[in-house]
Amino acid sequence: MRDYKIAPSILSADFARLGEEVTNVIASGADIVHFDVMDNHYVPNLTIGPLVCEALRKHGVKADIDVHLMVKPVDRIIPDFAKAGATYITFHPEGSEHIDRSLQLVRDSGCKCGLVFNPATPLDYLKYVMDKVDMILLMSVNPGFGGQSFIRSSLDKLREVRKLIDASGRPIRLEIDGGVKVDNIREIAEAGADTFVAGSAIFSAGKPGDPNRYNSVVKAMRDELAKAKG
């Protein structure tokens, strides 16, 4: 059985109580904090920067922080997020003039690195950098906004990347982001994903009666993943 990781996207959290929200969702059984960075340039939205990442660390968040850079260019901001406490830093190939150099910059900054592919972005780049990535993130929605529906063609793309990872023999995580919910997470896992970003599906399902507010929805996802074949 694969080592499945659930990565709540804090883009859907209550930002007035962000430290508390992240503490609760990790205590509820989630694994990774997914941190969406948008620049109102590469994508039509503006979100959060390194100071928020640093604030979460100062708040006491110990879990891995997975920083997804939807910005262009990426090189200027990579060291800032590394210094702020990022564990993973992933970026879109369209956001870098020199992808190999940007990946190396992430590594040199002390973080794990990865590439992100939009639904219509070809996977050709991977042929040249499989030895340099720790994570491959497939977008199953078009980036820029939360709450979108899952694009089903992403399942075929997941299967394709899973074959590439298995053939490489490298411990590369395969992450999916967009429209992941309790009722489709099993199918997504069976297509090859091992790391699942979910925003509104988790943060809109909080229950005051749960010990840490999000226990029920995280458990429901875990139960579905336990049924996955592959």
Catalytic residue among 36, 39, 66, 134: 36
Is residue 36 part of the annotated active site? The answer reads: yes
Could you tell me which of 209, 205, 155 has the C-alpha nearest to residue 185?
A: 155
Per-position b or e across 7-44, b if 16+ CB within 10 A of its CB: bbbbbbbeeeebeebbbbbbbbebbbbbbbbbbeebbe
**Is residue 117 within 8 Å of 143, Cβ to Cβ?**
no
Alpha helix stretches (DSSP H) within the chain:
18-27, 50-59, 78-84, 99-108, 126-129, 154-168, 185-190, 200-203, 215-226
**What is the per-residue DSSP string for 14-30?**
-GGGHHHHHHHHHHTT-
Catalytic residue among 31, 66, 134, 177: 177
Catalytic machinery residues: 36, 177
